[in-house]
Amino acid sequence: MGLSSQLDEVENLDVNVKAEPLNLVQGQVEAVSIDGEGLVMQQELRMEKIEMEISSVAINPLSAAFGKIELTKPTQGRALVVLTEEDINRAFNSEYIRSQLQSQKIRVDGQLMTVVPQKVEFRLPGDGKVALSATLVLKESNETHKISFSAVPRVSENGETLTLENVEYGDSQEVSLELTKALVDATSQILNLKNFNLEGIYLKIKRLEVEAGKLILQAEAEVEQIPSA
């Protein structure tokens, strides 16, 4: 399947194959690189940039003759994914995440409530932390809650997502652990690399860099299929 058909929007996308003609006939490719900018997956999840390098690729030479790269065995590669503050805010305020939050019943003061997000602002201030503020309405009581906190993002043990640790609130903050947990869980859901997997390519985070305005994820790529552009 072509990469562009798996994406809602694409600003720029290149798939390059490095191979000697003789090796290509024998089903051997030195390297495949995938470079993309402004890739929007389903549910309005956007990557500012993805760079992927895949080496030691064994392919079906007959398929290659028709311009298709078909792997004869799985291989591995390295990937770099950049997510900007704007990208993550877009996801938080998307209909998909809003509907996910509203589909949960959250216990607040002993009662099950439906959370309706009014506005969520996600920030990357550049001190190794993320900051999040939100205005939430409890549908059943029509109460409005404002929540803001900062936290340190960490790579989960399975390498598939980021979790938030060391949550800190402002001194005047009205703390609702249940509502905060809902936002923390939503953050992990948005920053789950499964959301950014392309067909036949599965990413596992190895390193996280938190910079002002952006997250940089370095990942291993398990490659079963290399899509065309």
pLDDT digits 0-9 by tens, 105-121: 888 888 888 988 888 99
> Does residue 228 form part of some domain?
no
- For residues 114 and 137, membership in a common domain is answered with yes
In which element (H, E) is residue 100 found? helix 95-102
- Report how many domains make up the chain: 2
Cα 10 from chain centre = 16
Write out residues in the chain with pLDDT < 50, as ranges.
1-2, 4-5, 172
- For residues 101 and 185, membership in a common domain is answered with yes
Residue numbers of the domain that contains 35: 4-85+195-223
- For residues 93 and 160, membership in a common domain is answered with yes
> Does residue 133 form part of some domain?
yes
> Does residue 229 form part of some domain?
no
Q: Are 21 and 28 in contact (CB under 8 A)?
A: no
Q: Output the six-digit token pair for 142.
A: 């029509």
- For residues 77 and 159, membership in a common domain is answered with no
